[in-house]
Amino acid sequence: QCLLSGLWQSDTGCRMAVSVLGKDGSFSGSYLPGPATGDSEILTLPLEGSQQDAGLVPQPTFSFTVRWQLQARMTAFLGQCYMGTNGEENLHTSVAPPRGSDSPAEDWKATR
């Protein structure tokens, strides 16, 4: 069974710590960007999210947001937890770093 709570590290060196999941699947934690961001001044950032009920599906989906305090922006992550052949848990995520737009007509430019 995939359990999201715990410590995780990405291929790019980003790290996150996820608290114990609430009964409703909610969680909070912290996120530390890796060397790929190129910003050595960034501190640990708060994250908040929700996971699909792992009791109902063997490989649940999840989402969370990270609030970049000094840069007044947020990043959304969407992913799924997979069980590996050796019983290890692996998270596969997509990232949506919105840039914002000046008008609703140009909102398509807001996500890279």
Higher-confidence residue: 46 or 2? 46
CB 62 within 8 A of CB 50: yes
Interval 76-105 mean pLDDT? 84
Query: Looking at the predicted structure, is the pLDDT value of residue 22 above 60?
Result: yes
- 29 has pLDDT over 90: yes
Give 33-78 pLDDT, tens digit per residue.
Answer: 876 555 555 578 899 999 998 888 888 999 999 988 766 778 899 9
| Number of residues written out for the chain | 112
Does the model's pTM come out above 0.95? no
Look up residue 104 and give its DSSP letter: G
Structural domains of the chain in order of their starting residue, each with its CATH number: 6-99 (2.40.128.30)
Rounded to whole angstroms, the Cα distance separating 82 from 62 reads 11
Question: Which pair of structure tokens corresponds to residue 54?
Answer: 């792992």
Residue 17: pLDDT band (50, 70, 90) is very high
Answer whether residue 28 shows pLDDT above 80. yes
